[in-house]
Chain A
């Protein structure tokens, strides 16, 4: 089976609210995790990554949290905007970066309500 999965296939949030997208992984040997955003008709766009020696990493309006104890990863988007509507994928590998093949989950479709 897949090593990485998503808790919810669809997440609907109000514009301006914070969004939290969750991801569970099963491979305890994974040491690199990455979030991608994919808009309709486009390829996945890099959002943020985190390595297993970290619990939290922040970017512009986004935060990734890693809980290795329960093998859980989350992406928090602050002040959600209409442009955030997309499918969000988490992915992982054991090599610490993009050099080796990533295992992707099925994705969560984030819908922004006006």
Chain B
């Protein structure tokens, strides 16, 4: 039973560039959330996708956008990268939006902006 998988594992970009991160949810899950984790901090909620729509969003600017595909996989896009966007980006999945199930996280994509 595959857990949450993310790609790539590491990425280096230059300030001003754009980046796309990818996530496949755990088998049987249909809801995908994205979190940003700065070094030494807890994860911060970016947004959540369900039924291919953004369902909920945290306090992140419009430079952060996403997409969910019919197979429930998801992408996180960040435009006009800033040095402060350097972080571990975590994808998490769960089942449904009303059922009380915990989030399962992937191992993340480490993004470095230079």
Contacts and interface: CB of A to CB of B under 8 A. Distances in A.
Classify chain A's interface size: 20 to 34
Interface in A99-114: 99-107
Interface of B is mostly: loop
A107 B100 contact: no
Given A98-B94, A99-B31, A101-B48, A44 B43 contact: yes
A101 B49 CA distance: 11
A2 B90 CA distance: 19
Given A91-B42, A105-B42, A98 B105 contact: no
Given A32-B100, A98-B94, A104-B42, A44 B31 contact: no
Interface residues of B, number: 29
Contacts of A83: none
Interface of A: 4, 32, 34, 36, 41-46, 49, 51, 89, 91, 96-107
Interface of B: 4, 31, 33, 40-45, 47-48, 56, 58, 90, 92, 94, 96-108
23 contacts: A32-B100, A41-B107, A42-B108, A43-B90, A43-B108, A44-B105, A46-B104, A46-B105, A89-B43, A97-B102, A98-B31, A98-B33, A98-B92, A98-B102, A99-B31, A99-B97, A99-B101, A100-B56, A101-B47, A101-B48, A101-B56, A101-B58, A103-B45
